[in-house]
Every structure is written in structure tokens, then in C-alpha cells.
Amino acid sequence: MKLSKIAEILSINTKNIPDVDIHWLLTDSRSLSFPSGTLFFALKTSRNDGHKYIAELYRQNLRYFVVSEMLDDFKNMPDAVFLNVENTLEALQKLAAFHRSQFQIPVIGITGSNGKTMVKEWLYQLLNKNFRIVRSPRSYNSQIGVPLSVWSLGETTRLGIFEAGISTVNEMEKLQPIVKPTIGIFTNLGDAHQEGFHSLKQKCEEKLKLFSGSEVLIYCSDNKLVDIAVQQANLKAKLFSWGKKSNAVLQVLEVEKKELQTNVTLKYSNKDFDLTIPFTDDASIENALQCVSAMLYLNIDVETIAKRLEKLEPVAMRLEVKEGIRNCLIINDTYNSDLNSLSIALNFLNQQSTSKNLSRTLILSDILQSGYSSDELYTMVAELIATKNIQRFIGIGTEISKNADKFHTEEKYFFTQTDELLKSPLMYEFQNEVVLLKAARSFHFEDILAKLELIVHETTLDVDLNALVNNLNYFRSKLRPETKVMCMVKAFAYGSGAVEVARTLQHHRVDYLAVAVADEGAELRREGIRLPIVVMNPEKGAFGTIFDYKLEPEIYSFRLLDLFMGAAEKQGLTDFPIHIKIDSGMHRLGFEEKDIPVLIEKLQNQNQVKVRSVFSHLAGADTEKFDEFTKQQIETFTRCADMISTPFSHRILRHILNSAGIERFSTYQLDMVRLGIGHYGISALPDVKLDTVCTLKTVILQIKEIKAGETVGYNRNGKITKDSRIGIIPVGYADGFDRHLGNGKGEVFINGYRAKTIGNVSMDLIIVDLTDVPASEGDSVEIFGDNITIQEVSEKLNTIPYEILTSVSRRVKRVYFVN
């Protein structure tokens, strides 16, 4: 809108008013983004006066102001334009009301005590495929927020959704002409903001004034007070009631709550139908039915409503600030995706980064349904970002990527899809920065948040992926260049996190991965792992998963072979890769040497499967006293493998060496080796120290002084023999800290000192003796890592390192590091 037109609307003489375009209205001086196209309203409140910020805004190149008094300072701003009005708030509202009057489109106005924002956001989720929508950013429902929201209506807008809130009488009359809803929704009536009203009845009557000119009012008639007030309000609007009453336009016949969803049976236009709401709380059910009513009024068919309703997502009601990994702060804002909300979020980002002296990073998706051309939109976005001093910018989406040349931050990266960023090494580089996540919901930025946030549980397993690669290369140094490597990532990659470990191994070009069960392999496939994956324990019920995700099963018995060939035949599959397991002496799973002739005959007389490799397990490769037995196993296996390979024309790989075997029997590496515990940092050789891959860490929650003679912990087993200082640590047997490490058997490492456990290990906590340890609450605690090794812990428990690693609970956040 032209500034001269705005002056005319505000009844100001337009002489000497420049004919410039105004795109943005500003009431908060800290939120300035586009000085050249912004008009500032100097609002006066009981606590502040916008006039005192005009000089600073002028220094930031803003030139257009709506004021209610002319200050002496204004004489020092010769090129500034001041529109002098009696009341700047009323001027703002008058301008917004005029702007609204220019649009002959459906507008949904929402009021009520609770649920306004939720209903608005759900309506957006449900209707954005039918309309180009403008909606209130966040909870902009006040005397100031409503006009700022409505100003966003543009030429391409086909539906407006605005919420309006009041805190006392005579406020809604000011908001009604600004929103001017054609469709009204009254969410509910409760005690919120009751202090401004004499009674609930009065508050209800005041709120209903929003709908004085509406075509229809949607409300729940089960609330008797609301129903009576609506009937007595003399509204011209058609009443679209919903509820359990038989006279409701949309009648609720049945509500059945299940564990994760609610099934409702409804009646509309004399037809019954069922819907599923993916929530079970009463508020969400009520909000969802408000949305269903609006969709029915807008002639959306029931089938479409049902499909979309099932996909409703929860709404984050505010910017989420979370602690991130490596001293990052994460601002999660996947709530709105438009220029207004981006500007709001960037202002918040500036606040956070300034207060914490952190660098600024923005991860932004395509902005959908903006109403601007791609060129116009991303020119404005780039200008906005430039004003906020963003050091690193990451754009995700096809449109923003096409406009990459418009962005001029210190660092910039572009990806067409969120998954591309998640799989990028960039995910490991975030440190000492505030990261703003800003996206449309369809980009699933929650997956980025999950990777970057520091889990609430303060116990973490730090996984050094560089150390993993260093260990991989150590074992590779003992192999011939042509020898293939299969890496074990079963059991959640020995507790370290299968997906991240698998990605790293794939990047460093190992040949195979191996998992224990099909579901583990399927997860890797879904995460983009392309390497061949062997399933060591295939179950009959998992054959479908194996086929679907192109996994390769270990076959260890005739029964399993017959079942798998039969399943493959039913699927019409041929030459599906399998791996034959030989029992060379461990006497666990596998075909025995005497079975080989029959096995060969079976394999020759079918075409459903094709043997990719033959392998066996060594029982004691890490123990010198079993060396002769190990060699016997290798001889047995070699005979069996040769027998199987001879009749077939294709190459069948042979492998028997595990991590210890690679170190101690590398002569027998054959065609491939299997690397397991070795690349996680455990060597079979006493003089070899591999890099530490996994470090289990936590913090000191609390420190206490305990007198001699007292006890601590369950069963009073922690007896204090002298005045002591104890620390309570948030790790327990539910995290993987074994109960047998209690009562002084186990230790932790704090600030260069070892601290023994006192008393029993509980599910979530341990207590340690800090009497001689300089420590404070919040200090870092190593459970195992460089200082207390996994080997040491396993020896204390008379077990093996495998068990220690795999015992770390999934509730412990895995944090990954890479240089």
C-alpha cells in the first residue's frame, strides 16, 4: 500500500507525503527487518512509549513513522516522514480494518477461552491443500497482534484464519472490523482472563461480538451457557452447532478412546460416518471437532476429512529453546513458515546469541504459499537474513536452493531435502552456536532437532567416529588390499548407534555390514545405507522384511534353507543372495562337515537362492591356549568351503576371521574378514591400544556432607565410617551401570580422580565418595572411556567388553563426534 494512501485512510493531509510502497508494519523497534518498506507505529502503553525509539530507528535507516506527538528530536531527521495522529493504536487498527475490507474472501475468525491457536493451526494443516492461507503468527490475537496479522493478507490469499482474544469489555468491538470473519468459531468458555469480566456470561457475550457480521458460527452446543448466549445474541449468522444433542448440526454419536487415538462416530445431513483423531485428550478432541465442522461447512468431503484428520500433528505453541550438543543452543520453530514468523524468530535468535556470545546459524526450508514469486520471496528472505548477522545459513528445499546466489552469509549450504542434510558431514560440525530451525511442517525438521538437541537425561554415550575409522584402518593394515571387510553393526552397533556407525563405515568403503536380526537391517536401509547387509539370525517371520529391504540371510540349517527357498519361490525370486554358516567346532549354529554333500545337492537343484559366501565362527581366537583348536577350526572350515565352492561357477567368498583372528591369524584372512569389537576399540593384543570410541559420561547432580555412622542408599548398605562428602550421579542399572559395581567395587572418574561407589546401585542413580575428590555439582563424570576402560570394567564384572558396550540403555543419548 502506498504511504500516501495510508495517510488518506488515517485522515492526514497527503501533501508532501511521498508515494512509496509500505509492505511492513512495525510496533516493536527491536524487530526491524526491512527499513525501506516499513512503517513504524509509536505506541504508548502504561509501561513504555514507542516515541523514544524513533531516533534509533532513524539511525537504522527507517524513515516512516506514525506518531501521536511531535518531539523536538524529529527536527534532526530531515528526510523522515511523520504521520501525526491522535492515537497510534487506533490508527493501526483503522488501517488494518481498511486493508481487510479490500478482500472479498472467506475469513475464519476464532475466539474462546482456550484452544484458539490450536484450532487455527490445525485448520491450516487440514485446509492448506485447498486454499492459499494467511493466518495469525503464533498467538497474535491481541489489540496489536490482530491488526499486524490481518495486514499479511495479500493478492494471492484465498483464505484468512485469525484468532482474536480479549481481556475485558469493549475490546472485541475494535477487533471485529479488523478480522471481519465470514466464518466464526467459538472454541470454548473457561476461566482464562476472567478478571476482566463480571461473569462467564458477560465474557461469553463480549466474545460473541466478533461474529456480529459473520455468515456462520461454529460452536459446541453441549456447553449450556454458550448455547444460551448464542441463541440470545441475535446474530445474523447461521448457527453450525456440534455436540451430543440430537438437534446439533453435527451430532457426536459415539466417542471411543484408545491408547493413541480416538474414534468418533458423527452424524451430518442424516448420514453417519466415522473419523479417527490421533489424540486422546478431551481438549484435542474438542479442537478437532471444531475443525471438522469448519471443513464440512466449506464443503470438504468426508473421505478427505478422514484422511487429513488422521495425519494431524501436535502443535508447538511457542519457540522451543533446547540445549544442543557441543555447546549449541537449539531454537525449534517449525510452527509457522512465512516472512512474518521468520522475522520474529530471527529476532529471538539474536537475543539468544547475544546473551550467550554464540555464533548464529539459520536452517530454513522453502517458504510455502507466500504469495510472492520465488525471486521476490527469496530476495526478501536474503535481505532479512543479512540484517540479522547470520554467520551460517543452511537452506533446504528445491526453491530456496534455486535461489542460492541471493544469500551472502559467511557460510552457506543448500539441500533439496532434509534427509540430505541429515546424511551430510555438516551434522557433525555444529558447536558453540545458536541454531534456529525454521521450516514448513512437511520438511520434518524434527529429525534435525533430534540429532542436535542434548537429551534431557544428562547421561550420554559419546561416540568418536574418527576413532572408529582409525581402528578400522589399523585392522585394514593387517590385510591384503584385495581382502574384503564385513563390519558388525548388530545390537545397535554394539551399543554405539547402528545408523551413524553404518554411515561412517559406508563412507569409508567397507564391503559388507552384518546385523543380528532383520529389523536392524531394515532400519539401516530406511536410513539410506546401501551396502550389502547380512542378517545373522534370520527368523521365518522376518523373511518378508529380508525380501523387501534386500537383506542377505545367514543360512545355518536344512530346515531354514527349505523355509527360505520356499518363501523366495512364492515371491517369484531367483538367485537371492544367502550366506552359508559352517559349524567348524564352536557347535553353535551351522552345517556340520557331514552335511555338506546333501547341502550341495540341494543348492544345485534350485534357483531361488545363490550362495554369496561361506563362513564360520572361531571359538577362541583371542586366547593363546586355544590356538591349536583355532587352527583345527580353520582347517575344517577350509575343507567345507572348498567342497561347497567347487561345483559352482560363480565366486563364493570365504571368511572365518573375527577381530582377534585378524590380529593373531592374519595368514588365514581368505577372501573376507569380519570386524566386530575391534573397530569399537578393543584389541586382543595386550600391547596394542586402540582409540577409544565410546565414552559413557554423566554429571554430578548433588553433593552432600554425611556424618560418620550414617548410611546411604537402599537397604542401608552404604555405611559411612568417617565424615564424608558424597556425590549423587544420574546413572544406574537402567542405563547400563551394573548393580555388581556398587558398594565400592566400581569407580568413576572425576576431575582427574577416581571415586568409588558407596552403597547399592539403584535403577537411575549411584552414590560415590568425593571426600578426597575436588568436585562441584554439575562436573563431568566418566563412567568408562579413556581413564576407566571398558576392559577394566568388564574384568571387575568377570565378563567381556561386548556386554559392557551393549548394556548401555537406549535412553542414554548417543552424541557423535567427527573432526
Enumerate the known binding-site residues for substrate: 588, 763
Q: Bridge-partner residues for 149, per DSSP?
A: none
- CA–CA gap between residue 614 and residue 578 (Å, rounded): 9
Q: Is 512 a catalytic residue?
A: no
User: Residue 432 corresponds to which cell in the numbers above?
Assistant: 558453540
Q: Which of 120, 490, 697, 813 is catalytic?
A: 490
The Cα 691–Cα 682 span in angstroms is 9
> Is 808:760 a contact under the CB 8 Å cutoff?
no
**Cell triple for 226:** 454458550
Q: Please give the C-alpha separations between residue 14 and each of 2, 6, 82, in angstroms, as whole numbers.
A: 11, 9, 11
**For residue 613, which amino acid is it?**
S
Whether 714 is catalytic:
yes
Parallel, antiparallel, or unpaired for β 576-582 and 609-616? parallel
What's the grid cell of residue 116? 484458539
Q: Is residue 399 helix, strand or coil?
A: helix
- Spell out the residues 6+ positions from residue 771 whose beta carbon is closer than 8 angstroms to its own: 722, 724, 725
Cell digits of residue 638: 577350509
CA-CA distance, 110 to 116, in Å (whole number)? 6
* Active-site residue (options: 236, 307, 570, 714): 714
- Inter-axis angle of helices 339-356 and 374-387, nearest 10: 20
Q: Which three cell numbers stand for residue 63?
A: 524513515
User: What is the distance between the alpha carbons of residues 652 and 642, in angstroms, rounded to a whole number?
Assistant: 10
Binding annotation: 588, 763
Q: Return the H-helix or E-strand segment holding 659.
A: helix 659-664
One-letter amino acid of 10 = L
β-bridge mates for residue 461, sequence order? 696, 814
> 3-class secondary structure for 693-749?
CEEEEEECCEEEEECCCCEECHHHCEECCCCEEEEEECCCCCCCCCHHHCCCCCEEE
Please list the alpha-helical segments (H only) found in 114-185.
116-127, 145-150, 172-179
The residue ranges of DSSP E strands in 571-700, in sequence order, are: 576-582, 609-616, 653-655, 672-675, 694-699
For residue 618, which phi and psi values (nearest 5 degrees)?
-90, 140
Catalytically active residues, by annotation: 490, 714
